[in-house]
Amino acid sequence: MRSETAPAIRLEDYQPPAYRIEKVRLNVDLDPAATRITATLSVEKQANTETGAPLILDGDELTLTGLLLNGAELPESAYTCTADRLEIHNPPAAPFELTVSTRINPDANTKLMGLYRSSGTFCTQCEAEGFRRITYFLDRPDVLAVYTTRLEASRADCPVLLANGNLKETGEVAGTDRHYAIWHDPFPKPAYLFALVAGDLAPVSDSFTTASGKKVALNIYVEHGKEPLCGWAMDSLKRSMRWDEETYGREYDLDIFNIVAVSDFNMGAMENKGLNIFNDKYVLAEPDTATDQDYANIEAVIAHEYFHNWTGNRITCRDWFQLCLKEGLTVFRDQEFSSDMRSRAVKRIADVRLLKSHQFPEDAGPLAHPVRPRLYHEINNFYTATVYEKGAEVVRMLKTLLGDEKFRAGLDLYFKRHDGDATTIEAFLDCFAEASGKDLGQFALWYEQAGTPIVTVETDFNPDRKTFSISLSQEIPPVPGQKDSEPAVIPLRFGLIGPNGEDLELPATGNDAVSQDVLVLDRPVREVTFSNIAARPVLSLLRGFSAPVRLNQKTGASDLLFLAEQDSDPFNRWQAVQTLAMQDLVRLTGELRKNESAQPSKNVVGVLARVLEDTSLDEAFRAQALTLPSEADIAQEIGKNVDPDAVHTARQLLRKAIAQEHGDAFLPFVKDLSPTGVFSPDAAAAGKRALSNRALFYYAVSGREDAAETVWARFASADNMTNRLFALTLLVHDDLPKKDEALEAYLDRHRKSSLAMDKWFMTQATAPGDGTLAKVQALMNHPLYDSGNPNRVRSLLQSFATGNPTQFARTDGAGFQMIAESVLEIDKRNPQIASRLLTSFRSWRALDPQRSALAESALMRISSSEELSRDSRDIVDRTLQ
Ligand code: B3K
Ligand code: ZN
């Protein structure tokens, strides 16, 4: 018998809480196997709740050990209690205190939700519904309480005791080897923002003085010995704090801000009030073990969690359907921060790449859902690219439509009006509508409708009348379970480029769809005509990727070449190069499938080679432009009946054609560009390394005599992880001589750094050859593999399933089956990690019939399991729908 699907929770069923909890006093007596929690809750019945209505508290795998009401023990007849629910039958009408005692076993907590131990450190993860695994509570985001937390633990094992807020008191517990700390957080918060940490950790300390002159103590806690790896994270934190003051007028509000890095963590990091807990991957960095991408990620995640202090913590969500209220907005804020710290164009390109590779396929497959979903079975499955990344795009469009000033005024109003609230998307949009005087009713559809709109574009130049017309239409492809979609409001930033490459002054059109350089498509069809246009211009549309849409535009190769070399908008320049490459890759794939001889286009090869030498472009940009669309991107573009082997071969063909034709041009970039001397993680130095490595990517397959040796030499002489890992990946993925020697050397050098070892596992899991599956299976038995550590599972299995399309979708079905087995195995211990791994099947229907049948049978195997978690049941049901 297959396990059951959990009941659906629906937005339309939202009811305000019948009781509120104003204050929480927590006593946590820490012990690895038997931690005792006493929670004293100040409860108040709400005015419109009937007297005597039951108080129902959430629990999850809890053991109740005591229950007092206003200090007196409750008789058993007055309540009912199970592991996941505590009901007080007839509570008093007047405010009362409920004292709930529970006992939990942190060491047995393999789900890493609630209170658990990671390498001996006690830590918590409460979002979304983990607090109920600590004590019975109204575990919902609209119940905001002031917390006082007393932690007690063995001084020897846990010298550090941390919780939310400010530290009030510390001391010894007389007559024992234990000590305690009392923390008080004056800001009312929902339970999902609760956190505690206790362990033997070392602080790296600094301080920050806010714009209004308040000194805030900053600490990053890590395992002993890791202190030297915290410099970049601390620097990123201070820059984030300053940026939020300068950009949005947001100051930090407590006396202390603590970050703790742990090695076992289900996701990236968590914004608990005053006590952020991080996956150590997003804190620890040194040149020898962290890549430039790691440095950029640390900067972004530190900023993201810090920015949540206002967008998420001071103003939180009324219910979990509103998740994008905090996540979309906070991703937008961290993207803007990184753009200001680095190159805006390069950051935009990276963000759009991520959006297209993660969110677009989600929106086009069985897991599609609106930015604000209306229904869920398991909320943890909604921390998705749609809620986060598309959610950020929606905020970005709001800024484009309103203009910088009105957008800022709207956000100011939101902070002012809703500080301390648990609120909704409607309330958020109202602030912008009010500040700008615009009706945002239709814009709100972006939150309601799933699916990526397709914008079809046609242009016409009439030389006699000297007019240039743009016809636009939009369509949202059908999404299962969604009624006919309505037209979205799509801001399209654009320019008309004259024959000499300059943007034309845009003549007035008298058309209300156009305002300066933004064309707003808010109907099914629109046409705009520009007059007094002397010569045929080239349209550059969707500049800066101003809306999360797909363009259906038949731009000819000559216009794309023109845009690739002339567009003043760097994003669209990059896009033109990518479109040229993509068109060729799709053509090549088709020809390979028909067994026709496939030849990469000379034009495409030429344009890519020219990018390399265009010194008017910065290195990071050139590296991005020279990065071919990934195999997954090409598969997505093809859309149906995909053969990943043909895609892989096509991509290699184009790569080799570029490399063979222009091999000699790449060599100087390989040699000269990587900066030597003291390592700097800044954007300029990282850009140089990126271009140098991209040149190596081509040179490796150039057929030049010294190609393989050059890659090996780069590996052997690398003095930073970016270069070492890039060369290692080429050695392994291109199956070059000495790849085994390189893997051994890497292992020897890095076996003590688990973050560096994650990269070792990942490099092998993503190698395209036929032998990879057996290799991955063998690596699961490697002494350094740990199926309980989420980073390790992601590095081996998730990267195989999402980063190795030919081997995951092998025609013998063994790739799918291996992942299916792993999902079932992991699901028993950590459902969140299992269900995340399971989402790698989401594009199965786009595969060719043979492969999709194999994927379906692997999914059926998971689905027929009797013991599936609610998380995995939800994903497998929807994936098979
Ligand atoms: N808010 C957390 C994510 C929590 C995920 C719960 N399954 C991290 C973040 O987005 O900042
Ligand atoms: Zn977030």
The ligand 1 atom nearest the CA atom of 269: 8
Say which ligand is closest to the CA of 282.
1
Residue 99 forms beta bridges with which residues?
Answer: 40, 68
How far apart, in Å, are the Cα atoms of 2 and each of 410, 820, 826? 50, 16, 18
- Cβ of 380 less than 6 Å from ligand 1: yes
Domain presence at residue 15: no
Same domain, 831 and 866: yes
Q: Which of 133, 173, 128, 151 is nearest to 26 (CA)?
A: 151
Residues 6+ apart with CB under 8 A from 549: 452, 453, 454, 455, 474, 490, 542
Where does 594-682 have alpha helices with state H? 602-613, 619-625, 631-638, 644-672
Question: What was the pLDDT predicted at 256?
Answer: 98
pLDDT exceeds 90 at position 510 = no
Number of domains into which the chain is organized:
4
- Segment 558-567 long-range contacts (CB within 8 Å, at least 24 positions apart): 561/603, 561/607, 562/497, 562/501, 562/538, 563/497, 563/538, 564/607, 564/611, 565/501, 565/607, 565/610, 566/497, 566/501, 566/538, 567/495, 567/497, 567/540
- Cβ of 758 less than 6 Å from ligand 1: no
Give the whole-angstrom CA distance, residue 185 versus residue 164: 6
Mean pLDDT of 694-711: 98
Retrieve residue 459's tokens.
Answer: 């242009």
pLDDT band with cut points at 50, 70 and 90 for residue 677: confident
Give the whole-angstrom CA distance, residue 773 versus residue 779: 10
The ligand 1 atom nearest the CA atom of 266: 7
Q: What is the CATH number of the domain that holds 513?
A: 2.60.40.1840
Beta pairing, strands 72-73 & 63-69: antiparallel
Residue 128 preceded by cis peptide, ω within 30: yes
Q: CA angle, 660 as apex, 727 and 626 as ends, to 5°? A: 60
Contact 721, 288 (CB under 8 A): yes
Measuring from atom 2 of ligand 1, which residue has the nearest CA?
A: 270
Domain presence at residue 656: yes
Cβ neighbourhood burial of 596 (10 Å; 0-12, 13-18, 19+): exposed
- Cβ of 665 less than 6 Å from ligand 1: no
- Cβ of 363 less than 6 Å from ligand 1: no
Domain presence at residue 328: yes
Question: What was the pLDDT predicted at 817?
Answer: 98
pLDDT band with cut points at 50, 70 and 90 for residue 225: very high
Give the whole-angstrom CA distance, residue 256 versus residue 167: 8
Q: Which of 23, 28, 439, 437 is nearest to 197 (CA)?
A: 28
Q: What is the CATH number of the domain that holds 848?
A: 1.25.50.10
Residues 6+ apart with CB under 8 A from 141: 190, 192, 316, 317, 318, 319, 320, 422
Q: Give yes or no: 305 in active site.
A: yes
Question: What was the pLDDT predicted at 780?
Answer: 98
Same domain, 502 and 631: no
The CB density around residue 239, as the number of other CB atoms within 10 Å, is 17
Give the whole-angstrom CA distance, residue 635 versus residue 232: 37
- DSSP line for 108-162: G--S--EEEEETTEEEEE-TTTTGGGTS-B--STT--EEEEEEEEEETTT--EEE
- Cβ of 128 less than 6 Å from ligand 1: yes
Render pLDDT for 132-170 as a digit per residue (tens, 0 to 9): 999 999 999 999 999 999 999 999 999 999 999 999 999
Domain presence at residue 83: no
Q: What is the CATH number of the domain that holds 422?
A: 1.10.390.10
pLDDT exceeds 90 at position 4 = no
Percent of the chain with pLDDT over 70: 100
The ligand 1 atom nearest the CA atom of 327: 10
Question: What was the pLDDT predicted at 507?
Answer: 80
Mean pLDDT of 389-397: 99
- Cβ of 383 less than 6 Å from ligand 1: yes
pLDDT exceeds 90 at position 24 = yes
Give the whole-angstrom CA distance, residue 825 versus residue 838: 12
Same domain, 671 and 609: yes
The CB density around residue 349, as the number of other CB atoms within 10 Å, is 24
Same domain, 443 and 327: yes
Mean pLDDT of 262-269: 98
Same domain, 494 and 630: no
Measuring from atom 7 of ligand 1, which residue has the nearest CA?
A: 380
pLDDT exceeds 80 at position 672 = no
Ligand 1 pocket test, candidate residues 112, 133, 267, 309, most atoms within 8 A of CB: 267
pLDDT exceeds 90 at position 127 = yes
Question: What was the pLDDT predicted at 320?
Answer: 99
pLDDT exceeds 90 at position 285 = yes
**Torsion 264-266-270-275 (CA) sign:** negative
Ligand 1 pocket test, candidate residues 283, 333, 383, most atoms within 8 A of CB: 383
Same domain, 561 and 699: yes
Give the whole-angstrom CA distance, residue 598 versus residue 702: 18
- Cβ of 127 less than 6 Å from ligand 1: yes
Residues 6+ apart with CB under 8 A from 596: none
pLDDT band with cut points at 50, 70 and 90 for residue 441: very high
Q: Which of 833, 875, 872 is nearest to 267 (CA)?
A: 833
Same domain, 529 and 632: no
Measuring from atom 5 of ligand 1, which residue has the nearest CA?
A: 127
**332 CA distance to ligand 2 centroid (A)?**
10
Cβ neighbourhood burial of 616 (10 Å; 0-12, 13-18, 19+): exposed
Question: What was the pLDDT predicted at 233?
Answer: 98
The ligand 1 atom nearest the CA atom of 128: 6
Q: How many helices (H) and strands (E) does the chain have?
A: 29, 32
Measuring from atom 8 of ligand 1, which residue has the nearest CA?
A: 270
Domain presence at residue 804: yes
- Cβ of 327 less than 6 Å from ligand 1: yes
Q: Which of 640, 671, 704 marks a domain boundary?
A: 704
Question: What was the pLDDT predicted at 61?
Answer: 98
Retrieve residue 811's tokens.
Answer: 């025609």
Mean pLDDT of 360-376: 98
Beta pairing, strands 178-189 & 166-172: antiparallel
Domain presence at residue 357: yes
pLDDT exceeds 80 at position 827 = yes
Measuring from atom 1 of ligand 1, which residue has the nearest CA?
A: 270
Where does 450-601 have alpha helices with state H? 557-566, 570-593
Same domain, 541 and 554: no
Catalytic residue among 129, 271, 299, 305: 305
Contact 517, 543 (CB under 8 A): yes
The ligand 1 atom nearest the CA atom of 304: 11
Parent domain of 356: 316-448
Domain presence at residue 25: no
Retrieve residue 145's tokens.
Answer: 């309480």
**271 CA distance to ligand 2 centroid (A)?**
7
Give the whole-angstrom CA distance, residue 501 versus residue 567: 7
Alpha carbon 141 to its chain's center: 21
Q: Which of 95, 92, 98, 20 is nearest to 52 (CA)?
A: 92
Same domain, 794 and 699: no
- DSSP line for 277-303: EEEGGGT---TTT--HHHHHHHHHHHH
Q: Which of 646, 670, 704 marks a domain boundary?
A: 704
Render pLDDT for 333-353 as a digit per residue (tens, 0 to 9): 999 999 999 999 999 999 999
Question: What was the pLDDT predicted at 3?
Answer: 85
For the chain, the average pLDDT equals: 97
pLDDT exceeds 80 at position 675 = no
User: Residue 572, by phi and psi: left (phi above 0), alpha (psi -120 to 50) or beta?
Assistant: alpha
pTM of full prediction above 0.85: yes
Domain presence at residue 28: no
- In 237-329 the beta strands, taken as DSSP E runs, fall at 256-262, 269-270, 275-279, 316-317
How far apart, in Å, are the Cα atoms of 383 and each of 327, 380, 795, 831? 9, 6, 20, 14
pLDDT exceeds 80 at position 865 = yes
Length of the chain: 881
Q: Which of 486, 514, 545 marks a domain boundary?
A: 545
Contact 810, 825 (CB under 8 A): no
Mean pLDDT of 648-675: 93
Question: What was the pLDDT predicted at 851?
Answer: 98
Same domain, 414 and 466: no
Which secondary structure element, helix H or strand E, spans residue 730, and what is its range? Answer: helix 721-733
Say which ligand is closest to the CA of 272.
1
Contact 153, 161 (CB under 8 A): yes
Same domain, 767 and 699: no
DSSP state of 725: H
Same domain, 681 and 578: yes
Neighbours of ion ligand 2 (CB under 5 A): 327, 330
Give the whole-angstrom CA distance, residue 648 versus residue 804: 10
